[in-house]
Amino acid sequence: MHTIKAIYPGTFDPLTNGHLDLIARGAKIVDQLVVAILRNSEKGTPLFTVPERQEMIHEATRGFGNVSVTTFDGLLVDFARQQGAKAVLRGIRAISDYEYEFQMAMMNRKLDPELETLFMMPAEKYTYVSSRLIKGVFQLGGDVTALVPPLVVERLKAKVPERTPPPV
């Protein structure tokens, strides 16, 4: 039988409901979905360590029988080949994501023509959600409870000193 294994790579600092929505959609159409956290991210200093991020994703995806979580370093195409994965899953929220995603997909295709990139769109209500905005809003005392899993809210509270919004 033909089984499809896909990699869902990212920084996940931290996991959002948008990521979870995409994981749920991906898990419905592929046989095995591997959420893969990039260890050597060039995105600057992360808020959460890689093991912290891995644990949060692990907890949040417990309910899926075909989703696993791991980490990777180096080229995504090498990791995908090593995993025996035929596809990479990525989410596209808005047109603004498209250019970056297109470049990455084409570069990955150049590096490994056998690896396909699958794009899926998260639920409309998460279109504006990003890890970067979540961190920024939370650090300024904003409420992010509807946008990230409950465990992530707890971890954000433990990591970031409690801040109350300034009086209006």
Catalytic residue status for 86: no
Catalytic residue status for 130: no
Taken in order 83, 107, 21, 1, is the CA torsion positive or negative?
negative
Catalytic residue status for 19: yes
Closest-CB residue for ligand PNS?
Answer: 10
Please answer whether residues 2 and 30 qualify as being in contact, where contact means their C-beta atoms are separated by less than 8 angstroms.
no
* Nearest residue (CB) to ligand PNS, 125 versus 132: 132
For the segment 106-135, give every residue that binds ligand PNS (CB under 6 A).
Answer: 107-108
Catalytic residue status for 93: yes
68 binds ligand PNS (CB under 6 A): no
- 3-state SS, residue 118: strand
Q: Is the peptide bond before 150 cis (omega within 30 degrees of 0)?
A: no
> Shortest approach of ligand PNS to residue 112 CB, angstroms?
10
Gap between the Cα atoms of 151 and 15, Å rounded: 10
* Nearest residue (CB) to ligand PNS, 27 versus 38: 38
CA 43 to chain centre: 14
9 binds ligand PNS (CB under 6 A): yes
CA angle, corner 161, sides to 158 and 167, nearest 5? 130
In sequence order, what are the beta bridge partners of 63?
A: none
> Shortest approach of ligand PNS to residue 155 CB, angstroms?
18
76 binds ligand PNS (CB under 6 A): yes
Catalytic residues, which ones? 19, 43, 93, 131
Residues that bind ligand PNS (CB under 6 A): 9-11, 38, 75-76, 104, 107-108
